[in-house]
Amino acid sequence: MPVSAPGPVGGAACVGGELNGMLEVLIARVRRSELLGTAELEKLRVLTADALVTAVMASGTPAARSADALAAAAAPGWATAVGCRTGLPTETAVQVNSLRIHALLRDDSHAATMVHPGAVVLPVALGLAEELGSPAALFLQAVAAGYETMTVLAAPVAEATARRGLRNTTLFGPAAAAVAAGVLMGLDDLRLGAGVLIACGVAGGTLAPLTLGSPEWRFQPGLAACSGLAAARLAATLDEEMLLDMRATTLEGPGGLYATLVGHEVEWERAVDLIECPALLGITHKVHSTCGANQGPATALGELLDRQTIDFADIAAIDVHLSPMSLAYPGTEGRGPFTGDGVYMSRPLALAAIALSGGGPLTSGVLDAAIADDRLEAALALVESHPFDDAEHRHPQAATVVVSLRDGGTIEADTACIGAETLDPPLDAVLARVEDLVSAEAAVAFGEAVRALPGGRVGDILQPLRGETDGDA
């Protein structure tokens, strides 16, 4: 049965006297996204399960150890975090869960806008729902609203900001977190819009840590999430006079957010119209430990090699065709030296590692093995990337991989031929991943809590993962 959105708390909505422009469209789409049908509910179960299973998989990594140390240093609280047996303050739980979800760069993403909504929206929705005692149905509406906000808000400038080296997840994550929190708080349109504007006013973040291999990229989504949560708390308590003084055109107007980010005003309407509604149905799930721009090529090559028995010595070339946006994404053409966290951005490294291992999926362990392999330089030399000529007619993550063999033959794989379940897995497949990571009892309890959504309590979802075992990254 569809879940309907609750009525907003407060009076008629306006910012600066009225909702208008981009903010009006955004809030309208947020409210529509809260109406959850069968497909949306199932997708939300998958998104929730995938994020938390990915968080458990990160156990034993430096990021997870950092998260554990952060939790150990915190005061007692009411929110639950993966791997932590005691309750934490909401903001700490948000940071801990976000850090774990994003640790392996295998959290969900939206290809067209190059954002990771799950690492921002879900930790806020989980933590605040526990703090407020919100019903699970409202938690799901908040998650849907947050995903809608991040993708829609990013759409008009996503490609341009990425080319400039800015990270879209941290630019638009605070607003997404503010909206998710605002829905849980029951904010009306006026205060929800104010939360967006407050959050956008402090948004920022670059791709430099990822492209340079510095580990602070893992903390970016959690910081964006906490920034947005703070914005929502402020919006909920703003004095009425200050609330009415806000100007919606600070998003798309002259000197507004978009113009500041890309150097000129943008035609935002068409870009927003291209994002399906609800946006969460366009979210894909990562199979490989590499940047979202590399998921298509990695998937195509991995499945090709899984179907064919090809010795690495028999490969003469690996030619990749993909969208210009993916091709130009900062850091994805890196060819070394590979140190620290820089391994997650390079497309040549991702494909070389898959070729050396004989197939997919690409895990952090496969990357480590490739870097230690004496054949890596030769493998990197095989990989060349090219833009699609008809990219506008293809999915942003579409890719074609052509493997040329030394005997003169060629083998080709296209993401269009790959089953939809690869990037949009069913719930059973996601839940199966946790069975090797936690006790049988915990796996069953987690699965039951996820399947019960929108029923049950939010705390029931996280409770089985408090004492998880070490995962295999």
User: 336-371 pLDDT, tens per residue?
Assistant: 888 777 688 899 999 999 999 999 899 888 999 999
Distance CA 243, CA 251 (A): 16
Helix (H) or strand (E) holding 413: strand 410-414
CA 263 vs CA 122, 130, 215, 258, 259: distances in Å: 32, 41, 29, 8, 5
Distance CA 383, CA 365 (A): 21
Q: Where are the alpha helices (DSSP H) in 218-323?
A: 220-237, 240-244, 257-262, 268-273, 295-307
Tell me how far apart the terminal alpha carbons of the chain are, to the nearest angstrom.
37
- Residue 242 vs residue 416, higher pLDDT: 242
Which residues, other chains included, contact 35 with Cβ-Cβ below 8 Å and sequence gap of 6+?
2, 3, 4, 5
Q: Tokens 């909504």 appear where?
A: 117
Helix (H) or strand (E) holding 366: helix 364-371
Q: Is 401 within 8 Å of 328 (Cβ atoms)?
A: no
Distance CA 400, CA 417 (A): 10
Which stretch of 327-341, 417-431, 448-462 has the lowest confidence by average pLDDT?
Answer: 417-431
pLDDT value for 439: 94
Mean pLDDT for 124-130 is 98
Tell which residue, 281, 258, 304, has the closest CA to residue 399: 304
pLDDT band at 15 (very low <50, low <70, confident <90, very high): low
Beta strands 410-414 and 315-322: pairing type? unpaired
b/e code 335-370 from CB counts within 10 Å (16+ = b): eeebeebbbbbbbbbbbbbbbbbebbbbbbebbeeb
pLDDT value for 13: 39
Percent of the chain with pLDDT over 90: 74
pLDDT value for 326: 85
Q: Taking 50 as the threshold, does the pLDDT of residue 466 lie above it?
A: yes
pLDDT value for 40: 97
Beta strands 315-322 and 383-387: pairing type? parallel
Tokens of 344: 């997650």
Q: Is 217 within 8 Å of 210 (Cβ atoms)?
A: yes
Distance CA 256, CA 418 (A): 41
Report pTM: 0.90
Helix (H) or strand (E) holding 385: strand 383-387
Per-residue pLDDT tens digits for 147-200 = 999 999 999 999 999 999 999 999 999 999 999 999 999 999 999 999 999 999
Strand partners, 414: 400
